[in-house]
Amino acid sequence: MTEPRPSRGAPAFLLLPVALLALAGWLRATAPGADATVLRLAHALNTEHPVHGGMVAFADEVARRSDGRLRVEIVADGKLGSERELVEQVQLGSLALTKASAGQLEAFAPDYMVFGLPYLFDDGAHFWRFAATPAAEALLASSERRNLVGLTFYDAGVRSFYLARGKPPVRRVEDLAGLSLRVMPSRTAMRMVEAFGAKPVPIPFGELYTAIDSGTVDGAENNAPSLFTSRQFEVAGSYSLNGHLLLPDVLVIGTAAWSRLSADDQQLLREAAQASMAVQRRLWAEEEARSLAAIRAAGVDVIDDVDVAGFRAATAGFDDALRAERPSVAPLLAAIDATRETPASVREPVP
């Protein structure tokens, strides 16, 4: 995927509305009182989603730690745009913070492509060991040159495939052959789906329900809470627990908002983000169990006897190919291997 680049030499009258929009956002932010600064955080998830719960915990922590001097105002449900549009607004400075999938962020900080590697982590515990390493911290900082500063990772579970009603469920990688599957606008995600023999179709998440229902795509891949809270389970016939990706979400702040904060307040936001991550992980685990139970109760065929070894074999060598293409990911891959408890040669499937 080609990285978006800022325009050059744009006439001043075209740039003025953007500048006025950013200024208006900051003027609105300080309206509650001269001593209060409000940072607007927008995202595309609904308020039932556990990642939203993590952001609510972040807002609470910021208010508590600053004695109300800093406030985070959350706008949910994609009211200010799609995830990609919100990231771009944060880049421009018209929005302070957002949540973005690591798959979205690879267009802005290419080293995030590492998370698109299938079966990269042995399980969730392995990911969180990696997330505590200096290499993970460096990855969060790597988007700063594109006006985005990563504050923390949020749990987004393990992604698996689900197909529309009437489609035979997936038990082997061969069952995906020839199907049209929605993927995120991520080059690595598209390459993975192609390796599985299917056709990748990048569609915004908010349009996916209709796309499955109308037959525009045969299915998609995501985690159980997203399948449930989006109500896409209503048009899905099966959900196969092949667990091909463990793709985290990332809480990011724009450099325009970040640079206006003192060093102490920047540290306060980092600490609040870390505290919210712990809350969000708990919420995620609870919601994941509830979502799987609800999906089953709704009549979706949840397939747990999947030939995961066949999926692994179809994408063997992806790690080496990415290392050759982007040598900068080598420290990330080394840190991931160093935090592995079981040698790669005898890894168990991701649950």
Mean pLDDT of 21-36: 49
Q: Which residues contact 4 (CB under 8 A, 6 or more apart)?
A: 88, 107, 108
How far CA 348 is from CA of 20, 86, 138, 243, 340, in Å, comes to: 54, 37, 28, 12, 12
Q: Give residue-wise pLDDT tens across range 166-210.
A: 999 999 999 999 999 999 888 888 999 999 999 999 998 889 999
Query: Does 76 have pLDDT greater than 60?
Result: yes
Which CATH superfamily includes the segment(s) 12-105+123-157+248-284?
A: Bacterial extracellular solute-binding protein, family 7 (3.40.190.170)
* pLDDT band (50, 70, 90) for residue 34: low
Q: How many CB atoms lie within 10 A of CB 31?
A: 10
On the question of a common fold for 12-105+123-157+248-284 and 167-244+290-346, the answer reads yes
| pLDDT of 252 | 98
Burial bucket for residue 233 (CB in 10 Å: 0-12, 13-18, 19+): buried
pTM for this model (two decimals):
0.82
Q: Give residue-wise pLDDT tens across range 301-320.
A: 999 999 999 999 999 999 99
Question: What is the residue type of 36?
Answer: A
- Which of the pair, 34 or 341, is modelled with greater confidence? 341
Q: Give residue-wise pLDDT tens across range 117-145.
A: 999 999 999 999 999 999 999 999 999 99
Query: Does 1 have pLDDT greater than 90?
Result: no
Query: Does 212 have pLDDT greater than 90?
Result: yes
* pLDDT band (50, 70, 90) for residue 342: low
Q: How far apart are CA 278 and CA 260, in angstroms?
A: 27
- Reduced DSSP (H G I as helix, E B as strand, rest coil) percent helix, strand, coil of the chain, to 5: 50, 20, 30
Domain boundaries, the chain: 12-105+123-157+248-284, 167-244+290-346
What percent of the chain lies above the pLDDT cut of 70? Answer: 87
Query: Does 22 have pLDDT greater than 60?
Result: no
Q: Which residues contact 165 (CB under 8 A, 6 or more apart)?
A: 235, 236, 237
Q: Give residue-wise pLDDT tens across range 249-293.
A: 999 999 999 999 999 999 999 999 999 999 999 999 999 999 999
Query: Does 113 have pLDDT greater than 90?
Result: yes
Beta strand pairing call for 37-42 and 97-101: parallel
Query: Does 235 have pLDDT greater than 60?
Result: yes
Mean pLDDT of 82-101: 96
- Which of the pair, 194 or 7, is modelled with greater confidence? 194
283: nearest Cα among 349, 221, 225, 201? 225
Which CATH superfamily includes the segment(s) 167-244+290-346?
A: Bacterial extracellular solute-binding protein, family 7 (3.40.190.170)
- Is the separation of the CB atoms in 173 and 273 below 8 Å? no
**DSSP label at residue 200:** E
Q: How far is CA 60 from the centre of its chain?
A: 22
Question: What is the residue type of 277?
Answer: M
Burial bucket for residue 82 (CB in 10 Å: 0-12, 13-18, 19+): middle
